[in-house]
Amino acid sequence: MTAVSTRPPLTIRMRAEDNVAIVANDGGLPEGTSLPEGVPGAGLVLRDKVPQGHKVALRDIAEGEVVLRYGVPIGYAVKPIPAGSWVHERLLQMPAARALEGLPIATVKPPVAEPLEGFTFEGYRNKDGSVGTRNILAITTTVQCVAGVVAQAVARIKAELLPRYRNVDDVIGLEHSYGCGVAIDAPDAVIPIRTLKNISLNPNFGGEVMVVSLGCEKLQPARLLPPGSFPITDERDPASGPETICLQDDVHVGFMSMLDDIVQSARPHLERLNARKRETVPASELVVGVQCGGSDAFSGVTANPAVGFCADLLVRAGATIMFSENTEVRDAVEQLTSRAATPEVADAIIRELGWYDRYLDRGRVDRSANTTPGNKAGGLSNIAEKAMGSIIKSGSSAISHVLAPGDKLRLDQRGLVYAATPASDFICGTLQLAAGMNLHIFTTGRGTPYGLAECPVVKVATRTDLARRWHDLMDVNAGRIADGEATIEETGWEMFHLLLDVASGRKKTWAEHWKLHNSLVLFNPAPVT
């Protein structure tokens, strides 16, 4: 049980035209509470107990009348809702999805903000021009079959070799469930294949590509990394395929010979990685992926607006910031197409979201499948409401590029990018890694211990209650915004400085400290066999 708040009753309304506000107090507010002067709904007496983060009607809402939050319809009342009532999901009918036709195209021209100059971090510059924030040996795998062997080889490399290479942060196996038992020639199989390839080339791995293969799998090493499509860092012929340890090769007699071979092959890669040094680079080299998971009604009030402010700072500093989660932006598609920098960018948004609509159609679901029981318990009635709170973390800049799932950003693609991915936390994070993310921001209201081995994850709590309970898991407490102790701008700047510290290796995130790592989860819309 959460203790009932001792603070005065506090409600938060996002826009003046909204007819609902959310209750900010820890533990919610009991029936009969009267809302004090100075807060939205002042003078109203609550007709129900309203849980924290849930909505209260600020005036009488008639049956069929629109319920507005963020100034947009989040539903229609299925029966009359008197002022002071708890407005929960069973009282709302969800608005229809916006068709992908007749959308406003590149109509909003955000004012060009002054560039932010002089911000730097200490990063690892790669030969291809990208910059890493960590120095990691990542072993690519072509198929799930080799996962157990690679895990044991990684444990041995860490125990036997890593202590001698002080500049190398970690050794990881890029394990996944793909590679065999899949329809690899299906048109949509290009998505998991390019995702795996592009993750191998993530800037945090320094261009060192080393592959462990089984031998008989469908995803052959040369298909994953065709010659000429990736850097060769050793003496080999550039026309050869990737350096591969193939477990089924005749040279391997017994399990130990496989492990020995992988450990030996790792050595020259570690030598080269160890020779890398951090150097001062402009903040524009950051490629930040943003995501939210375990969202509640505060996500869109505290953490996501602060991330949005930080996103604008990053764009002003010349950096790249990527937002994603198709089902969470779909209901606000006109905001995306209108903020597209050019008609071509708007077309790409429509193309990606249209493809995703058809993908969901094939599975006979729609976007309403997105909201979780936890979202609803946290006060988010439906996906329309969740979308408005989610999209706010993209800030206010024009959208300059769009990526299809698994695609990698080119180095000249900077600014605000929409990377079209599913909203599933692990799938989205995996696809953002493939896009070239070197730093990750993750906001959460309900709480998640999410982390990635491949890249630092800065976690932002939406509520002080969560930040207090999860004090050694959350890196930023955006709940102070709802408590009236910090502004959105202050929290956004705090995040911006923290990102530079984490990118430089001066600070570790809590997920790094505890080594909390989620699996790579590929998005495979193609059939399995």
x-or-dash string of contact with Ca ion, 292-311, rule CB under 5 A: -x------------------
Using DSSP's 3-state secondary structure scheme, residue 290 falls into strand
Closest residue by beta carbon to Ca ion:
293
Rounded to 5°, the CA angle 288-290-293 comes to 150
- DSSP letters, 244-281, are EEETTSTT--SHHHHHHHHHHHHHHHHHHHHT---EEE
- Nearer to Ca ion by Cβ, of 132 and 294: the residue is 294
Q: How far is the CB of 329 from Ca ion (least distance, A)?
A: 11
Of 293 and 379, which CB lies nearer to Ca ion in the complex structure?
293
Q: Which residues, other chains included, contact 204 with Cβ-Cβ below 8 Å and sequence gap of 6+? A: 124, 132, 133, 134, 135, 136, 138, 438, 454, 455
Q: Compute the least distance from the CB of residue 325 to Ca ion, in Å.
A: 5
Spatial distance between the Cα atoms of 27 and 3, rounded to a whole number of angstroms: 6
- Work out which of 169, 261, 425, 512 binds Ca ion, going by CB under 5 A: 425
Q: Is 423 in the site for Ca ion (CB under 5 A)?
A: yes
The verdict on 20 binding Ca ion (CB under 5 A) reads no
Q: Please choose, out of 154-162, 264-272, 291-299, 502-510, the segment that lies near Ca ion by the rule CB under 5 A.
A: 291-299
Query: C-beta of 466: minimal distance to Ca ion in Å?
Result: 16
271, 165 contact by CB (below 8 A): yes
Nearer CB in complex with Ca ion: 126/302: 302
- Beta bridge partners, 132, equal 124
As given in the structure block, the two tokens for residue 139 are 């072993």
The torsion region of residue 277 among left (phi > 0), alpha (psi -120 to 50) and beta comes to: beta
Give the shortest CB-442-to-Ca ion separation in angstroms: 8
Structure tokens of 132? 């890493």
Give least dist CB 54 to Ca ion, A. Answer: 21
Least Å distance, CB 423 to Ca ion, is: 4
Q: Which is nearer to Ca ion, 292 or 500 (CB)?
A: 292
Q: How many residues of this chain interact with Ca ion, rule: CB under 5 A?
A: 3
Q: Which is nearer to Ca ion, 243 or 328 (CB)?
A: 328
Part of the chain binding Ca ion (CB under 5 A), chosen from 70-78, 220-228, 347-355, 422-430: 422-430
Nearer to Ca ion, 53 or 422 (CB): 422
Range in contact with Ca ion (rule: CB under 5 A) among 230-238, 366-374, 418-426, 437-445: 418-426
Do the bridges between strand 20-23 and strand 11-12 make them parallel or antiparallel, or are there none, so unpaired? antiparallel
- Closer residue to Ca ion in complex, CB, 155/365: 365
Taking CB under 5 A as the binding criterion, the range among 80-88, 171-179, 289-297, 361-369 that sits at the site for Ca ion is 289-297
Distance between CA atoms of residues 34 and 440, nearest Å: 42
- Can you tell me whether residue 514 is helix, strand or coil? coil
Give the neighbor-by-neighbor strand order of the sheet with 399-403: 399-403, 415-419, 320-323, 287-292, 439-444, 457-461, 476-477
Q: Which stretch binds Ca ion (CB under 5 A): 211-219, 407-415, 417-425, 510-518?
A: 417-425
Do residues 310 and 496 make contact, with C-beta atoms less than 8 angstroms apart? yes
**Whose Cβ is closer to Ca ion: residue 206's or residue 293's?**
293
Q: Assign residue 106 a region: left if phi > 0, alpha if psi is -120 to 50, beta otherwise?
A: left
Cα separation, 91 vs 486, in Å, equals 34
210 touching Ca ion, by CB under 5 A: no
319 and 420 Cβ atoms separated by less than 8 Å: no
Stretch that binds Ca ion, among 126-134, 298-306, 340-348, 423-431 (CB under 5 A): 423-431
Contact window for Ca ion (CB under 5 A) among 151-159, 224-232, 424-432, 489-497: 424-432
CB of 425 to Ca ion, least distance (A): 4
Q: H-helix or E-strand containing 309?
A: helix 303-316
- Cβ atoms of 523 and 355 within 8 Å: the answer is no
Residue placing its CB nearer to Ca ion in the complex, 266 or 336:
336
Tell me the window of 105-113, 287-295, 378-386, 472-480 that interacts with Ca ion (CB under 5 A): 287-295
Which phi and psi (to 5°) does residue 50 adopt?
A: -120, 115
Nearer to Ca ion, 174 or 423 (CB): 423
Nearer to Ca ion, 289 or 293 (CB): 293
Q: Which residues bind Ca ion (CB under 5 A)?
A: 293, 423, 425
